[in-house]
Amino acid sequence: MKTNYLLLLILFLFSLNINAQNEGATVIKDAPGVFFKCWQCDMTRMKREINFVNYVNQRQDADIVVIVTSRSTGTGEKISVYFEGQNEFSGTNDTLDVAISDVETESIVDDKVIAAIKKGLLQYIVKTPILDKINYQISNSGSKKVEKIVDPWNSWVFSTGIRGSFNGESRFNRKSFNASLSGNRVTKKDKWRFYASTNLSQRNYYFFDSNDIKIDTLTITSERKSSYASGSYVMSLNDHWSAGIFTNAFSNTYSNYDLNLSSKLGVEYNFFDYEESDRKSLVFAYKVGTSYNDYVDTTIYNKLKETLYSQNLSMNIYMKQKWGNIDFGANFFSYLHDIRINSLSFNTGVSWNVFKGLTFSIGGYLSFVNDQINLSKQEAGVIGTVLGDRLLATDYNAYTYMGIRYTFGSKYANEVNTRFSSGGSVTYYFF
């Protein structure tokens, strides 16, 4: 009986495949092929509104490559849309910027991004036979006077929020609470930022006897509390150099800090122009400063309070190109009174479109740890270790991943069909 069912299923799927082959893919004649590299784009809506190009699955099949990036600003973000011509459009490149406010919804953001992409594609469309099928209109609203806008907030943007959550079952529940406040002022010349938050998380585990009555004496409670505040001022010295001052204050029961106060001076050099930082950057940064530590429990160095001086040297490489992404960083931290108390960490992420259809990705994080001066002298115990209530001694932290993906079949992706979708229509690209 099972064999008969399997045979019927194979015949049914085979008939569907024959119908699909007869139907074929919808391709717009004489329209350029476009490959989009945009993880935040709503591709379903894009295909419906920009329906005068052919969407292709592989970069190598495209006549135009569109790359969308974003950078944070004081009042939201700046989205940049890069157009790179291939084949007959080789050498025709352009960039359009879109300003996004924090208060604008996803729908408004989509409107702006799609409008920018339409404008950018026009320079390619005019060189194709489908130009005759396009109707266009130029709005003439008369001359406009240039007015200087007075900002009563002087570029400052503030945000505050509060959030609580609860989840549970008969033998377990978890409660959490978070409140935060932030302020930012970002201009070409400098950048001010401050942030403050408080967090509380509690987990409860309950045990019952054979009569299903809770045994209160066996209840296990795990609790974490933390508060954090930071402030920074960064000054733009020129197109490659920056300098800043950074302050932090926090308490964290997990890390054994009743209070930590720190202040550092820093300098940063970007090998590339900062205006290119959403596509490529090679940054070196150095910070040096002091910190005051007040611990919850006596540390492994028999300290309850101490003032220390430390330094931090970091390097980061980032590239986002047609063929993929590269992100690599290295960071060295040490205390000045004893440079042997230090940590060295590396993080990397590479996504490489090796050739048409084949994408290889690899990445990870590795840290050699020898700077845990805040470790509590008191043992965590079995329960505390399992629940993760406090920081544990370690020589390293490591994480890695690797993957390979091969895509083949039709080069076109023009059709939209959202039936039986899970609810959203945002398409994410991880290469």
Q: Please state, for a pLDDT cut of 90, what percent of the chain lies above it.
A: 43
Per-residue pLDDT tens digits for 336-383: 999 999 999 999 999 888 888 888 999 999 999 999 999 998 877 766
Per-residue pLDDT tens digits for 402-420: 999 888 887 777 666 667 7
Rounded to 5 degrees, what angle do the CA atoms 125, 128, 131 make? 65
In this structure, is the dihedral angle defined by the CA atoms of residues 131, 133, 139 and 140, taken in order, positive or negative?
positive
Going by C-alpha positions, the residue among 245, 249, 207, 210 that lies closest to residue 228 is 249
Q: Kind of pairing, strands 33-37 and 241-252?
A: unpaired
69: tokens are: 């990036």
Q: Return the beta strands (E) in 206-304 as ranges.
A: 220-236, 241-252, 257-270, 280-295
Answer yes or no: are the C-beta atoms of 17 and 406 closer than 8 Å. no
Span 217-241, mean pLDDT?
92
The CATH classification of domain 27-131, taken from the options 2.60.40.1930, 1.10.1740.10, 2.130.10.10, 3.40.50.10070: 3.40.50.10070
Going by C-alpha positions, the residue among 206, 187, 204, 185 that lies closest to residue 195 is 185
Element (H, E) at 133: none
Phi, psi of 37 (to 5 degrees): -115, 90
Looking at residue 117, its amino acid is: I
Answer yes or no: are the C-beta atoms of 100 and 212 closer than 8 Å. no
| CA atoms of 226 and 195, how far apart (whole Å) | 14
- pLDDT value at residue 294: 96
| CA atoms of 283 and 242, how far apart (whole Å) | 11
Going by C-alpha positions, the residue among 390, 388, 411, 296 that lies closest to residue 56 is 411
Give the residue with greater pLDDT, 2 vs 55: 55
Span 200-214, mean pLDDT?
91
320: tokens are: 């986002």
Per-residue pLDDT tens digits for 7-32: 555 555 555 454 544 444 567 888 89
Span 197-219, mean pLDDT?
91
| CA atoms of 419 and 71, how far apart (whole Å) | 34
Instruction: Provide the 3-class DSSP secondary structure of residue 45.
Output: helix
The CATH classification of domain 156-406, taken from the options 2.30.30, 1.10.287, 1.10.10, 2.40.160: 2.40.160
* Cβ-defined contacts of 141-148 (< 8 Å, 24+): none
Instruction: Provide the 3-class DSSP secondary structure of residue 415.
Output: coil
Give the residue with greater pLDDT, 195 vs 107: 195
**27-131 and 156-406: identical CATH topology:** no
| CA atoms of 30 and 32, how far apart (whole Å) | 7
Indicate the domain borders of the chain: 27-131, 156-406
- pLDDT value at residue 424: 44
Answer yes or no: are the C-beta atoms of 216 and 200 closer than 8 Å. no
Examine the pLDDT at 386 and tell me if it is beyond 80.
no
Answer yes or no: are the C-beta atoms of 348 and 327 closer than 8 Å. yes
pTM: 0.71
Answer yes or no: are the C-beta atoms of 269 and 283 closer than 8 Å. yes
Rounded to 5 degrees, what angle do the CA atoms 161, 166, 172 make? 150
Say how many C-beta atoms besides its own lie within 10 A of residue 206's C-beta: 16
* Alpha carbon of residue 332 to chain centroid: 23
Q: Please state, for a pLDDT cut of 70, what percent of the chain lies above it.
A: 84
